């Protein structure tokens, strides 16, 4: 009897130590597929800011964000629910990027519908203790000035709604290309940033760079003058190699803070590959320079950059068998 009681007390003790350690390390029995909150997210890091080329948390320590980017919100809304985003947190992600296309059936042609979906998605990421990027996903509309008026109205609204929460980062132009030169991006940024700053005085803002957000070296030659800005560099492992890392190196050496707000394991089309060896080089490079990143993309489209296999449904969590080759690779680095 007494022995049984003793065994019982020991069992309870061991169990509570296990639970305690789990909670402290934030890994409380996080089996892949469990839906939960980020363990190194907003509650742990608070408001972010930019010091030199580094992203730092409220305690002044450097912090690296990593997670998935959604595909176009107009096409894959089922991947931005609270459970779907939580599934990436269960693998260790502390960031989620919401790609809200301007063209291709996105915001410009369906303002109220897209705004509703965006709010639901951002709110979902917030409940998962994650940082979340609101991405004004210009692409076919190469020059961000094309929809500058709409961008100002949009960022006024969203910054008013989210300016008081530490979770949100604002990405003002995904990938300028074609006529979207640095001179034009600069002028656009100088029009949009003050609109955001009125409501979100210190939130981190990401600025896209010319040539599908590759020319960070050009931006470094004439950066903007606001604090708490970072500049986007995007890469696709099957297309962009050492030469693009060279541009990032040049930019960092000049003191430009860089954020990899989109990258993929495919070629620049979103398919082809995947290119694991080149991705290895990029991962090493990003670790070395403490670059934050979001991977393209969290969806089940039949293309090699997609993280999930066709028909996978993230609503009840994401099992390893639902991950594509790209998904397995990327999720292992959260
Ligand atoms: C970027 C875009 C992103 C695009 C991916 C892959 O574009 F930010 O929206 O995603 O990279 O191309 C793709 C999707 C497709 C979809 C298509 C159009 O994966 O499913 O049909 O968007 O909405 C890039 C990036 C780099 C370069 C070119 C593009 N580059 N681009 O270096 O030439 O032309 O889309």
The CATH number of the domain holding residue 186 is 3.20.20.80
Range of 301's domain? 2-331
pLDDT grade for 3, boundaries at 50, 70 and 90: very low
Q: Is 26 in the pocket of ligand 1 (CB under 6 A)?
A: no
The pair of three-digit structure tokens given for residue 145, joined into one six-digit string: 């000035």
The pair of three-digit structure tokens given for residue 80, joined into one six-digit string: 């931005």
Give the position, in ligand 1's atom list, of the atom nearest the Cα of 175: 8
High-pLDDT (> 90) share of the chain, %? 89
> Hey, how many other C-beta atoms are within 10 angstroms of the C-beta on 270?
16
Q: What is the mean pLDDT of residues 36-60?
A: 96
The H-assigned helical ranges of the chain are: 2-25, 42-45, 82-90, 111-127, 148-162, 182-199, 210-213, 216-221, 242-253, 276-288, 325-331
Does the structure show a pLDDT above 50 at 46?
yes
Using alpha carbons only, how large is the chain's radius of gyration in Å?
20
Does the structure show a pLDDT above 50 at 16?
no
E strand or H helix at 306, and its extent? none
Does the structure show a pLDDT above 50 at 113?
yes
The three-point CA angle 235-89-293 to 5° equals: 20
The pair of three-digit structure tokens given for residue 312, joined into one six-digit string: 């996978």
Strand partners, 134: 98, 170
State the distance from the centre of ligand 1 to the C-alpha of 261, rounded, in angstroms. 13
Give the position, in ligand 1's atom list, of the atom nearest the Cα of 214: 32
Nearest in space to 317 (alpha carbons), one of 102, 90, 39: 90
| Ligand 1 pocket, mutate which of 243, 269, 278, 324 (most atoms under 8 A from CB) | 269
pLDDT grade for 253, boundaries at 50, 70 and 90: very high
Residue nearest to atom 9 of ligand 1 (CA): 139
Residue nearest to atom 20 of ligand 1 (CA): 270
Does the structure show a pLDDT above 90 at 29?
no
pLDDT grade for 231, boundaries at 50, 70 and 90: very high
Does the structure show a pLDDT above 70 at 31?
no
Choose the weakest-confidence range: 14-18, 21-25, 174-178, 213-217. 21-25
Give the position, in ligand 1's atom list, of the atom nearest the Cα of 297: 19
Quick: pLDDT tens for 192-207: 999 999 999 999 999 9
Give the position, in ligand 1's atom list, of the atom nearest the Cα of 262: 8
Give the position, in ligand 1's atom list, of the atom nearest the Cα of 296: 5
Residue nearest to atom 6 of ligand 1 (CA): 270
| Ligand 1 pocket, mutate which of 98, 139, 140 (most atoms under 8 A from CB) | 139
DSSP code, position 69? E
Integer distance in angstroms from the first to the last C-alpha of the chain?
48
Quick: pLDDT tens for 265-319: 999 999 999 999 999 999 999 999 999 999 999 999 999 999 999 999 999 999 9
Q: Is 262 in the pocket of ligand 1 (CB under 6 A)?
A: yes
DSSP code, position 109? G
DSSP code, position 147? G
pLDDT at residue 36, as a whole number = 83
Cα 48 to chain centroid distance, Å, stands at 14
State the distance from the centre of ligand 1 to the C-alpha of 279, rounded, in angstroms. 17
Q: Is 296 in the pocket of ligand 1 (CB under 6 A)?
A: yes
Query: What total of structural domains would you count in the chain?
Result: 1
SS3 readout for 230-296: EEECCEECCCCCHHHHHHHHHHHHCCCCEEEEEEECCCCCCCCCCCHHHHHHHHHHHHHCCCCEEEE
Q: Is 104 in the pocket of ligand 1 (CB under 6 A)?
A: yes
* CA distance linking residue 67 with residue 289, whole number of Å: 17
Does the structure show a pLDDT above 60 at 7?
no
pLDDT at residue 220, as a whole number = 98
* CA distance linking residue 105 with residue 210, whole number of Å: 23
pLDDT at residue 21, as a whole number = 41
CB 98 within 8 A of CB 87: no
Does the structure show a pLDDT above 60 at 184?
yes
Q: What residues are annotated to the active site?
A: 175, 262
pLDDT at residue 309, as a whole number = 98
Can you tell me which residue has the tokens 């060896």? Answer: 277
pTM of the predicted protein model? 0.91
Q: What is the mean pLDDT of residues 6-13?
A: 47
């Amino acid at each position: 009897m007494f022995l049984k009681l003793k065994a019982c007390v020991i069992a309870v003790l061991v169990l509570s130590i296990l639970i305690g350690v789990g909670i402290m390390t934030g890994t409380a029995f996080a089996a892949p597929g469990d839906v939960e909150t980020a363990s190194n997210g907003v509650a742990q890091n608070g408001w972010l800011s930019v010091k030199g080329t580094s992203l730092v948390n409220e305690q002044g320590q450097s912090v690296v964000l990593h997670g998935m980017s959604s595909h176009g919100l107009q096409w894959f809304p089922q991947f931005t629910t609270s459970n779907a985003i939580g599934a990436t947190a269960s693998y260790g992600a502390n960031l989620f990027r919401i790609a809200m296309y301007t063209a291709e059936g996105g915001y410009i042609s369906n303002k109220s519908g897209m705004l509703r979906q965006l709010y639901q998605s951002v709110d979902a990421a917030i409940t998962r203790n994650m940082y979340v990027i609101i991405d004004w996903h210009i692409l076919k509309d190469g020059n961000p000035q094309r929809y500058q008026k709409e961008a100002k109205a949009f960022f006024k609204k969203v910054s008013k709604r989210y300016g008081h929460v530490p979770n949100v980062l604002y990405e003002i132009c995904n990938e300028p290309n074609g006529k979207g030169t640095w001179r034009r991006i600069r002028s656009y940024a100088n029009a949009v940033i003050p609109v955001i700053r009125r409501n979100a005085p210190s939130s981190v803002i990401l600025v896209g760079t010319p040539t599908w957000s590759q020319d960070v070296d050009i931006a470094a030659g004439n950066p903007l003058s606001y604090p708490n800005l970072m500049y986007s560099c995007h890469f696709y492992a099957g297309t962009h190699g050492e030469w693009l890392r060279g541009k990032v190196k040049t930019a960092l050496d000049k003191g430009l803070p860089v954020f990899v707000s989109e990258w993929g394991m495919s070629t620049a089309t979103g398919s082809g590959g995947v290119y694991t060896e080149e991705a290895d080089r990029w991962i090493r490079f990003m670790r070395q320079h403490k670059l934050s990143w979001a991977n393209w993309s969290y969806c089940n489209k039949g293309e090699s950059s997609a993280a999930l296999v066709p028909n996978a449904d993230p609503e009840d969590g994401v099992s390893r068998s639902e991950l594509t080759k790209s998904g397995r690779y990327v999720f292992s680095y959260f």
